[in-house]
Amino acid sequence: MALVSENLKSCGIKISASIGGVPSIGSGIVYVTPNFCDYNYVLTAKHIFQEDSQTPYDSSQILNIQLFYSELKELKKLQYIKKEEVKNRLIVFEKDFLIILINKTDDIPFNQILVGENLEDSDTDFFSWGVFSANEEQIHKFMFKRNDPSIKRFEMTSKIEESYLSGMSGAGVFIDGKNILYGIINS
């Protein structure tokens, strides 16, 4: 039987976008909606869709968005969003958070997740599935320890050099052993 973290790998996705002609890479997490909806959500960080950290979000600068999911050892295209569709596909928040509406697809088995804010004393280990700049062509598992839950701060225990962290933005942070999404990696 697979671990919860292994089952949730299917929900971790790669996001590739062109912002004002500049490529941007990030991660996201698929949230499966009920059967009566004809779309699912991708939860991610808003700053992936900004030209840089000093430039405010502007949907008119997004030329396209490509979403990829992991199947076996490779990434496969989940959806391509053209410039004309961007405004109707993105739900933008003031904080560094954004939701992408994607078409439901019956042939990709995304697992259902819960979203929660409360931690138990035993919730000390966390994990995430996403991409990072050292290898943008696969979804990787990253491990975290609880650091300061009052501000949702975690310490990464996976051995990754800081210069390679780019691309992890937008990945979902799950409580280890549970299918509960506790947060999204952002700025």
Query: What is the DSSP-derived secondary structure letter of residue 127?
Result: E
In-domain check, residue 178 = yes
78 and 137 inside one domain: no
Residue 176 in contact with residue 126, Cβ under 8 Å? yes
To the question of pTM greater than 0.85 for the whole model, the response is: yes
Domain extent at residue 170: 114-184
Residues 53-74: tens digit of each pLDDT: 788 999 999 999 999 999 888 8
In-domain check, residue 108 = no
Which residue in the block uniquely carries the two structure tokens 């997740």?
Answer: 113
126 and 51 inside one domain: no
Cα–Cα distance for residue pair 94/103, rounded to 1 Å: 25
The band of 11, judged by pLDDT with boundaries at 50, 70 and 90, is: very high
Residue 77 has pLDDT above 90, yes or no: yes
19 and 86 inside one domain: yes
Residues 140-185: tens digit of each pLDDT: 999 999 988 888 888 888 887 777 778 889 999 999 999 999 999 9
The number of domains in the chain is 2
